[in-house]
Amino acid sequence: MTKEILYQKFGYILDDSLINEIINVGVFKSFSKDDIIIDINQPMLYIPLLLKGHIKILREDNEGNELLIYFLEAGETCTMSLTCCMGTSKSKIRAVAEQDSDLIMIPVQKMKEWFHGNESWRNFILESYQIRFDEMLDAIDSIAFLKMDERLLKYLVNKSILNESDTILVKHQEIAEDLHTSRVVISRLLKQLENEKKIKLGRNKIEVITS
């Protein structure tokens, strides 16, 4: 039940009255794997709280090529959507369900009210910003400082932690899009990582060797 999940994922920081209000004003939504939850330039009318699943946050260049910035997990929100209260209300990123995911969508107006009226919500917002900032810095570090093979391994390890499994179900093409490179480059580097005994390759499947 939604209320229980809300308490479980957000109860550590949001107070009881607020959680009750979230249930009253929030709109429950489910998305299937690969659904686009919000797209670039779409108006942001709701702030999403993620109850279940994982969401990819992506950026796009002029030619339509993507780049994964970070993942959202259950118990988190997209700070991009928070900034919409000020200034532009258009999304600068694309959010895609990495797995089947459940969200509660909160109208922007409520977010503003709570921001000025509820301390626990303010703390949640601050904490969210901090987490996102750290993720953005980490994304910058990876792109700027790591070579593609290192980025690839980090991506795989991260994904395996996220899914709580050493085996990742993914195609080379999908990895290439997330890392903003070509499928051939990924296949080449994956084979190299396999030779270095860091992973094991299968069709639609990669096993990360943790040892």
Which residues sit at the interface with DNA, rule CB under 7 A?
147-149, 171-173, 180-185, 187-191, 201, 203-205
| H/E segment holding residue 142 | helix 119-145
- What the block records as the tokens of 12 is 């550590």
| Rounded CA separation 148/140 (Å) | 13
Residue 161 found at the interface with a second copy (CB under 8 A): no
Residue 71 found at the interface with a second copy (CB under 8 A): no
From the list a second copy, DNA, none, pick the one residue 51 interacts with, judged by a Cβ distance below 5 to 8 Å according to partner type.
none
Chain centre distance of CA 82: 15
The two beta strands, 205-208 and 46-52, are unpaired
Please, are residues 92 and 42 in contact by the beta-carbon 8 Å criterion?
Answer: no
Find the shortest distance in angstroms from Cβ 116 to DNA. 45
Residue 80 found at the interface with a second copy (CB under 8 A): yes
Q: What residues make contact with a second copy under the rule CB under 8 A?
A: 59, 61-62, 65, 67, 69, 79-80, 82-83, 85-87, 92-93, 115-116, 119, 122-123, 126-127, 129-130, 132-134, 136-137, 139-141, 143-145, 180
